[in-house]
A and B are shown apart, each in its own frame.
Chain A
Amino acid sequence: MSQDLEPKQYGVRPPPELNPRTDPVLDFPDADYGELEPEDYRTLGFMSGLEVHQQLLTRSKLFCRCPAGRYVDEYDAEVLRHMRPTLSELGEYDGTALMEFKTRKEIVYQLERGSVCTYEMDDTPPFEIDGEAVRIAIEIAELLDLNLVSELHVMRKQYLDGSIPTGFQRTAMVGLTGTIPFRVPELGVNRELRIRQLSLEEDACREIADVGHYITFRTDRLGMPLTETVTEPDLANPLEVQAAGRLLARVVQATGKVRRGPGAARQDVNVSVAGGRRIEIKGVDNHRNLPRLVHVEAYRQLNLLRVRAELQNRGVDPEMLTVPETGLPWEVTPHAVDAASAVSPCEYAPIRDALEREEKVIGVRLPGFGGLLGHRTQPGVTFAREFADRIRVIACPVHRPFIIHSDLTDYGLDPRQWRALSKQLRVEQGDVMVVVWMPESDAATAVREIFIRAREALVGIPAETRQAFSDGTTGFERILPGPDRMYPDTDTPPVRIRDELVLEVREGLPETPWARESRYEALGLDPEPARRLAAAPWAELFDALAPAPGAPARRFADVLETRIPHHRRNGAIDYLPSAQRLDPLVRAVESGAIRPEAMERALDDLIDAPDRSVDKVLAPYRPGPDDDAELERAVADAAARAEALAGKPAEAVLRWAMGEVMPRFLGRVDPSRVRQRLIAALQLAGTEVAG
C-alpha cells in the first residue's frame, strides 16, 4: 500500500507521523471488527506498523550482572523518587516530559536483593554492555536482513513515567533497513515486509499499583536485555498486523535465544487512517487481540475526525477554548467556575463525598461541544472518555468517578442543579457543561487538561500513546514523545561490532521461517501446511526424522499436527517424543513395511506406552505370513455377525463391518482390499455401496 509513499532509505528524516492521505472517509459507516474486507481498510487509508519487544535469553541483565529473568513477589526495601523534566535543545520541555511533570508522581521502587543491584536503582553507573545480548541482537538483525552498524552507541531515551528509575532507557541501534518475505497464503499475502530498525535496549519495571499521586514499580524485570524490531507501516489491515506479529515472533524464536512465556514478547502497534496520524498502542502481549485493537483504533480516529468536522461546522475555534497560563482556572476564565454552591446539597454520592472531603467541584463550559461528548468513539465508549482519560492520567484523582457532563442530563446532577450551573457558566445553545471534582491543585490541572483536550479536538487526533484494555478498547497513556528525547549516554563508550563477530554469527545462523517453509514445500507439502509446520514446536522433530519427499512427508506432517496437540491437551506427554523412538515407524512407512494409514495410530501407541519397546509397539502393524488367512477368518466372522443387522442400509452394514475388521489389520492390509473382501462376503455386490 505504502511502498511508494516513503523512500526505502530512511535516516536523516524522522519517521513520518501523519497518514499520507489527508482525506478522511467521514461517511464510511461504523463497523465492528470482523465486518470489513481488506478493500474496506484500503478505502479508510488504514496503515499500521509494529514495534516488537523481545526479551533475550541471557544470563545477566544488559548493563549489570544481575540475573535476568528472576521474577519475585517479595521485596526487601523501597526507594522513593521523582522525575523532573530536562529541557530540550530548543529550550522547551518535551510534551511528554511536561505532561509527566504535571502529574507530580511519587514513584516507589520495590527492591529485592537477588534481582537488583545499585545499578538498577540508579546509584551506580552502568557496567559493560552484556556481550551475549549484543551477539543475539546481531543474530536477529542478520535474520531480518538489516544493515549492521559498525559501532553501537548507547543512547538515553527519556521516560518520565517512572518505569525506569534513571528517567531514561539505555538503548542502542544495531541494524537498519531490511526486508523479509511476508507470505500468508490464507490472506493472499505474498510480498516483502520492510523492517525499519532493530535496537537493543533494557527492559523497564513492572508496574504494581498506580493510585492518585503514588505509583509503585517492581524492579526485577528492569534492565533485562530486549530487542525492539520496528517495521515500516506496511500492514494494510488488521489480519496483516497479526500475521506480521506472528512472523516476527517466529524469526526471533528461530534463534532459540529469546525468552518465552507471559510478558517475554510485547508489541507496540502504530495505527493511522486517512486524515489521521500515527497513534501508538503500547504493550500488547499477545497476537490474538491485535486485529481487534487496531480496528477499534482506526474507528476511534475516524470518529475523532468526525467530531473535528462537526466542530469546524459549528465555527468553534481555539481562541474560545483558551485559558490564561497562570492562576486557578476558575478564577481566570469565565468558562470555568467553582460549582460548589450550584451543586449543593448534592444527592449524587461521588460529588457529595467530594464536598465532604472539602475538594473542589468545578464546572466547565465548552462552547460548541453540545452533544459531542456522547459521540461514540470506541465500542461502548464515548468522546467524553477522551477527557476522562487525560484527567485520570495527568491530574491523578484518587476517587472515581471524577467527571460528568451535561450531554447525559439524567445522570449525576438533578435538572435544577444543571440549570443553576448553566446560569453560572452562561451556557448558550450548543454548549456542553463538564463537572469535575477533586482536591484543588489536581482540579486546576484537570480543568486545564479539559481545555487542552478540547483544543486538540479541533486538530483532530492528538499525538499520544495508548494502552490496550482487555475489552479491545484503548485508553490514553501519554503524549507521544518526539525524537528529541534521545541523547547519548555519556556513561558508556561506543561498542565496536567487529567483522569477525559478524562472520561468526552468520556461520551459526539458524534457518529462517521462510527458508523452512520453502524447504517443506520442496518436500511436497502445500503452502499452508508448510507454513503451519514451520511455525510448529515439532518442526525440529520433523526435521530430525527427515521423512522422504512426497506422501511420507505429507503424511508425517499431518500426523504430527493432529496427534501432538491431542496428546499435549490430554496431558499424556508434556514433551515431544524423541526422534529415536519415532524413527523406526517413519522408516517402515517409507519402505512400505508398514502401510501409511497406520502411522497415526502407531504414533499414539508409541506415546501412550512409553515403556514398551518400539519393536513390540510396531509389531501388530507389520504384515505377517498369515495375514491373508486371518483376514478371511475375520471377514467370515463379521459376515456371520452382520446377520443381526438385516434390514439396515447396506452402507451402514459395511461401515460397521469395516469398523470391526479394519483396526486389526491397520498397517498390514490395504483398506480397499478389506473393503472388497467384506462386500463380497456380505453379498452386497451390486448394491449402491460405492467402492
Chain B
Amino acid sequence: MTEATHDLYKGYRGPCLEVMKRFGITVWCEVRAETTRGTFEGLLLPRSETSDDLHLVLKLGSGYNIGVRHDTVRSLEKIGYREAHYQIPEKEFPTDPVKPSVKLFGTGGTIASRLDYRTGAVIPAFSPGELYGSVPELAEICNLETEKLFGVFSENMGPEQYLRLAEEVGGAIREGYDGIVIGHGTDTMHHTAAALSFMVQRPPVPIVMVGSQRSSDRPSSDAARNLINACSTAASGPIAEVMVCMFGPTSDRYNLLHRGTRVRKMHSSYRSTFRTLGDIPLAMVQDGEITPLKHGYRPRRDDREVTVQAAFEERVTIAYYYPGMHPDMIDALVEKGYKGIVIAGTGLGHVNRRIYPALERAHAAGVHMYMTLQTLWGFVQMHVYETGREILQLGVVPLANMLPEVAYIKLGWALGVHPDEPDAVRELMTATIAGEMTEREPHDGYLIFQGGVPEVQEFLEKIWR
C-alpha cells in the first residue's frame, strides 16, 4: 500500500479494509452504517494498529466511540467528511532578563503533552511556546529554552543516548545556562541519572531529571507540578548535582530531589514511585521553594566549568542471581564476550557454590565482576559468612551499598573510559565519585512502613496525605 492510501484507511486492514473499499469510505468520513445490530451514525476514526482487524471505530455526536464489527455491516453511506487537524497552539514564551535561564532537553518522554480528542493520540508539547501554553507558570520561574534530542520511550534509552546527552548537557553548561532540566520517561530515569552522574563531573549548576507518572493529558497529572518544581530547582536551587525531581507523596504536596546515584523507581504506577535508597533525599521542593534535607551536597557555583567523560562499554550486564542458577549462565556471558558482570546477589552478597567454577573461569578470562545486592538496602559484607569469603577469592569485588543498576551503569562507563586498564577500572569502581556508595547508612535511610500497624495507621491519618 502506498503511503497515501495507507492514510486513507489508517490502521484498517483485512476484512474492515474490504468493507471500507466496497462502500467507498475512508477514515474521517461521517457515515451512516446500516448493520444487523441497527443503524449507527458517526465519524469513522483511524483504528489503532494493535487492535484487531474486525471492527470499524465510529465517534458519535455525543463524543463516545464505538466499534462496529465488519460482518454486521449491511451498508455504509457517506454523509459528510471532517478530518481532524490537530495542532498545539503556541504562545510565545515571555522572557525576562532578570530571570535565570534554563535549558530543557527532551528525550522523548511525555512530560508535557496535549491530547487529540478525536483519536486519543497524545501529542507531546515541547517547544517553549507549547510548554507555555500548557504550563504558563513556567514563565514566572525562568527563561526557558528547549531542545529535543531524541524521540524515544524511556525503555529505549541506552548507552548511545547517554553519551549524546552528557555531551549536550556539558555544552549547555558551558554556554552559561543557570540550570539544566531533562525531560525523561520514568522507567529508566534512574539509569540515565546514574550515567549523567558519572559522565558529567563537578557540574556548577543543577542538572534535574523530570518525568511524569500520569500523562499531562489527564487533569490529575503530576506533570505540571513536576515540571514547575524541576524548573525552579534548575533555575535557582542551591544543589549542583544530577538529581531526579519527582513527587514525594502521592498527594499533590511537594517534590523530592533525589541524588542521581541513589534513586530508584520503586512502583510501577504510583506518583511517588522514586525513592532514595539507603539515605535521605537531598531536598524537598514545594511551590518553587527548595528545602535541603541532606547536608554535604555539592553547592551551585558561579563558574561554568565542567568535565564531561562520555564513554560506555556495552558488553556489561547484570546477573540477577537465583537459587537454582546454573554455572553455564555465567559461562555463556563470558563466551559471548561480556567484559563486566554486576552480580545482584542474595543477602549480604551471596551466590551458590555451584557457580563458583564459572566465576573462576570468568575471572581467569579477565571479566570484571562486582557484587551488589538484591535487597537494595544495606551493604555487601562478604566476610561474615564463609560463602562470602570464598566468593571474594574468586575475584568478585564487593561494591558496598551501590545499587545494582547504578553499578551496571558505572561499570559500563568505567570500562568505556579505561578499556584496556583493568586496574584503573577496579580503582574507579571502588572509589565513590558521585555519591553512589555511602560510608554510612543513616537509621532513616531504610523506611518501608507496613500498613495495618496501629502507629503507621495513625501516621497515615494525621500526617501522610
Q: Which A residues are within 8 Å of any B CB, using their own CB?
A: 9-15, 75-89, 91, 97, 108, 113, 118, 121-125, 146-153, 155-158, 160, 165-168, 171-173, 176-177, 197, 199, 483-490, 493-494, 496
Contact = CB atoms under 8 A, between A and B. Distances in A.
B432 to A, nearest CB: 34
Given A12-B80, A487-B115, A490-B120, A160 B219 contact: yes
A81 B219 CA distance: 10
Contacts of A490: 120, 122
B118 interface: yes
B202 interface: no
Interface stretch (B40-48, B101-109, B344-352, B437-445): B40-48
Contacts of A168: 218-219
A108 B465 contact: yes
Interface in B44-66: 51-52, 54-55, 57-58, 60-66
Interface size grouping (class) on chain B: 35 or more
B117 A487 contact: yes
A173 B60 contact: yes
A9 B41 contact: yes
Contact of A118 (B42, B224, B270): B270
Interface stretch (B7-15, B30-38, B288-296, B353-361): B30-38
B114 interface: yes
Contacts of B221: 84
A230 to B, nearest CB: 9
B65 A150 contact: no
Contacts of B117: 88-89, 484, 486-487
Contacts of B218: 86, 156, 166-168
Q: Which of B79, B116, B219 has the most CB of A within 10 A?
A: B219
B465 A77 contact: yes
Contact of B460 (A76, A125, A487, A488): A76
Contacts of A10: 41, 61
Contacts of B220: 81-84, 122, 165-167
A123 B270 contact: yes
Contacts of A121: 250
A532 to B, nearest CB: 33
Contacts of A173: 60, 62, 64-66
B117 to A, nearest CB: 4
A490 B48 CA distance: 10
Contact of B133 (A91, A172, A483): A91
A197 B62 contact: yes
B63 A485 contact: yes
Q: Which of B68, B87, B460 has the most CB of A within 10 A?
A: B460
B61 A149 contact: no
Q: Closest 3 A-B residue pairs measured CB to CB? A: A151-B67, A11-B41, A147-B38
B32 A9 contact: yes
B41 A12 contact: yes
A155 B45 CA distance: 14
B214 interface: yes
24 contacts: A9-B32, A9-B41, A12-B30, A12-B60, A12-B80, A77-B461, A78-B251, A78-B461, A79-B465, A91-B88, A91-B133, A118-B269, A124-B268, A147-B40, A149-B68, A151-B68, A155-B64, A173-B64, A197-B64, A483-B62, A486-B62, A487-B63, A487-B116, A487-B217
A271 B312 CA distance: 68
A87 B41 contact: no
Interface string B97-141: 000000000000000001111111010000000000110000000
Given A75-B461, A91-B89, 13 more contacts: A10-B41, A10-B61, A11-B58, A77-B457, A79-B465, A89-B84, A97-B219, A122-B214, A123-B250, A149-B67, A153-B65, A488-B119, A494-B51
Given A77-B465, A79-B465, A160-B219, A487 B120 contact: yes
Nearest to B41: A11
Interface string B245-281: 0000011110000000000000111110000000000
Contact of A148 (B37, B55, B84, B115): B37
B67 A80 contact: no
B23 interface: no
B86 A83 contact: no
A14 B216 contact: no
A123 B203 CA distance: 35
A86 B250 contact: no
A166 B215 CA distance: 11
Q: Which of B54, B65, B89 has the most CB of A within 10 A?
A: B65
B307 interface: no
Contacts of A123: 250, 267, 269-271
A81 B51 CA distance: 34
Contacts of B87: 91
B77 to A, nearest CB: 11
Q: Which of A84, A97, A150, A152 has the most CB of B within 10 A?
A: A150
Contacts of B115: 86, 89, 487
Nearest to B82: A12
Interface string B429-458: 000000000000000000000011000010
B69 interface: yes
A191 B52 CA distance: 42
Nearest to B272: A123
Contact of A13 (B61, B65, B120, B465): B61
Contacts of B43: 12
B115 to A, nearest CB: 6
A81 B218 CA distance: 13
B304 to A, nearest CB: 35
Contacts of A89: 84, 86, 115-118
B223 to A, nearest CB: 9
B40 A176 contact: yes
A320 to B, nearest CB: 30
A108 B251 CA distance: 9
Nearest to B72: A150
A494 B55 contact: yes
Nearest to B225: A82
Contacts of B62: 14-15, 173, 197, 483, 486
A14 B30 CA distance: 13
Q: Which of A12, A121, A165, A197 has the most CB of B within 10 A?
A: A12
Given A9-B39, A84-B219, A78 B64 contact: no
Given A124-B269, A166-B218, A494-B51, A80 B37 contact: no
B385 interface: no
A501 to B, nearest CB: 13
